[in-house]
Amino acid sequence: MYFNNLDFVIVITYCILLISIALFISKTPKGTKKNTEDYFLASRSLPWWAIGASLIAANISAEQIIGMSGQGFVVGMAIATYELTAAVALIVMAKYFLPIFLKKQIYTMPQFLEYRFDKRVSLVLAFFWLAVYVFINLTSVLWLGSLAINSLTGFDLTFGLVFLALLSLSYSLWGGLKAVALTDILQVVLLIFGGLTVSVLALHEIASMHDGSGVIYGAVKVFELLPEKFDMILSVENPSYRDLPGVWVLIGGLWIAHFAYWGFNQYITQRALAAKSLPEAQKGVMFAAYLKLLMPFVVVLPGICAAVIFPSLERSDQAYPMMMSLLPNGLLGLTFAALIAAIISSLASMTNSISTIFTIDVYRNLSSKEVSEASLVKIGRNVAWISVLIAVICAKPLLGSMESAFQYIQNFTGFFTPGILVIFLVALFWNRATTLSVLIAAITSLVLSFLIFLFAPDLPFIHRMAIVFLFSGLMCFITVQFQRAKIHNNAIFLNDINFVTSKSFNVNTIVIVGLLVIFYFLLW
């Protein structure tokens, strides 16, 4: 056990502070009750700074910090491609997707598909996302978080699972999205502080191991000792090429995962849907894009440093917890609180989105009678705690034997993301797309992904996603031609949508793309 009493006091204080702030934010005027817009979309009142912080807090969790640090230990900085190129995907989402979604005043992504097609498409995607969020996302976050708690405190894995579940529910269950999004400000500050602290102290440790001192000296030694860990584009000979296939990470299937995740993933887009206006949402997304550029130093660099300090780790996912063990007591407690912040903010975001999708897209659609607003909120709360309970029970059986939870998530979700991207792109930008055509695309994505996985297991999953995306799109096109479909009754007419962005948005886009070009040029 690395914790002492001071660390426990700091973590407990943080938990109390978080719950207190969330309960204060969640207060409603006397004699009023939350309606669905209050609970699921924070009354559509979120400012840009809350949107940006909440986007990152929802995204960066145990599978990012622990899982991606673990991949940093194995692969190196190349895994940061997931973080860096996501900044571009965020900008595309803000400019081309958000104007349509906000104009339609939707609550959920399946609801948009119901508006564009019909209930069949909406329900298929709703059930898919519910399954993925509960059995993939929630379980991985809970499992990796409990591993970190076990490594640093010695507490049993079951204790860690239950502790994280109860803490996330303690403030999100009552307050809904508003409590989640506004407390994410605190979470993101702690998250970035914690990750950078681990990186800085790790570099100091490496410097002292080699008779030097300072962060710069430590960074130079890491580069000298492990130069291959700083290759952003992996060669075919690299053992990790299958996960990150060379230059194709920049021009291939990774963009399919990015646009599906950042553009059409409920627990991500829900923050932007809750914005007070489109310009406010776009400013928030741009803020998140800048924060994304920091993430390699927060989540990947500690893993690379672990390869120098602890080169013989049995499991790559132990890298980040072992790096935290280097911290002095007190600072260890604060940094551990940052890790807890990242975990529970993602758990809260996911459970809120699960309850939103189930309540709005499944229960309300399938109910034979009119349901009151208060009843819908109550159902949403019940779904939230039930989904977390299921994830707690399933976490160890699903992930207990996995070497890398991060790549497990990417690989598994890659079976479905090509079809999802096809569905939303044609829903948004092709007015002839029909219900049958997008259902065919979804089936093609699932079946073809499994066939390639079975018969070409060595094919990088990024390539698989690109192939499946093209075939799914082709099947959608062929189906529309076979149906001889004309303009769909519910088609989106883009002439009615304002895609013009502000001057500051455009300037910041140039800055972010320029920084990425420089970074990849230096570490090619």
- The DSSP secondary structure of 383-452, one letter per residue, reads HHHHHHHHHHHHHHHHHTT-S-HHHHHHHHHTTTHHHHHHHHHHHHH-TT--HHHHHHHHHHHHHHHHHH
Residue 275, SS3 per DSSP? strand
- Cβ count near 300 (within 10 Å): 30
Buried b (16+ CB within 10 A) or exposed e, 376-399: bbbbbbebbbebbeebbebbbebb
Cα–Cα distances in angstroms (integers) from residue 66 to residues 212, 302, 424, in the given order: 28, 10, 31
Q: What is the pLDDT of residue 263?
A: 92
Cβ-proximal residues to 11 (8 Å cutoff; 6+ apart), any chain: 333, 336, 337, 340
Q: How confident is the model at residue 349 (pLDDT cuts 50, 70, 90)?
A: confident
Q: Judge residue 205's burial from the number of C-beta atoms within 10 Å of its C-beta, 0-12 exposed, 13-18 middle, 19 or more buried.
A: middle
- Cα-Cα-Cα-Cα torsion 108, 474, 439, 140, nearest 10 degrees, comes to -60
pTM score, two decimals? 0.88
Most trustworthy range by pLDDT among 64-68, 197-201, 339-343, 371-375: 197-201
Q: What is the pLDDT of residue 380?
A: 86
Q: Higher confidence at residue 433 or residue 266?
A: 433
Q: Is the pLDDT of residue 404 over 70?
A: no
Q: What is the pLDDT of residue 314?
A: 80
Q: Which helix (H) or strand (E) holds 314?
A: none
d(CA 242, CA 238): 9
Cβ-proximal residues to 289 (8 Å cutoff; 6+ apart), any chain: 86, 87, 88, 90, 91, 508, 512
3-state helix, strand, coil in the chain (%, to 5): 80, 0, 20
Buried b (16+ CB within 10 A) or exposed e, 232-241: bbbeeebeeb
Q: Minimum mean pLDDT among 219-233, 361-375, 494-508: which range? A: 361-375
Cα–Cα distances in angstroms (integers) from residue 87 to residues 53, 59, 91, 294, 296, in the given order: 14, 12, 6, 11, 12
Query: Domains in the chain, please, with CATH?
Result: 5-413+493-522 (1.20.1730.10), 414-492 (no CATH)
Asked if 233 and 81 touch (Cβ cutoff 8 Å), the reply is: no
Q: Minimum mean pLDDT among 31-35, 370-374, 422-426, 493-497: which range? A: 31-35
pLDDT, mean of residues 94-122? 90
d(CA 395, CA 402): 11
Which tens digit of pLDDT belongs to each residue from 158-217? 898 999 898 888 867 766 777 777 777 887 888 888 889 989 999 999 999 888 888 999
Cβ-proximal residues to 167 (8 Å cutoff; 6+ apart), any chain: 15, 18, 19, 340, 344
d(CA 381, CA 182): 19
Q: Which helix (H) or strand (E) holds 27?
A: none
Q: What is the pLDDT of residue 279?
A: 93
Q: Is the pLDDT of residue 284 over 90?
A: yes
d(CA 171, CA 27): 12
Q: What is the pLDDT of residue 33?
A: 67
Residue 355, SS3 per DSSP? helix
Which tens digit of pLDDT belongs to each residue from 442-499? 999 999 999 998 999 889 888 999 999 999 999 999 999 999 988 888 889 888 888 9
DSSP-derived letter for residue 274 is: T
What mean pLDDT is reported for the chain?
A: 87
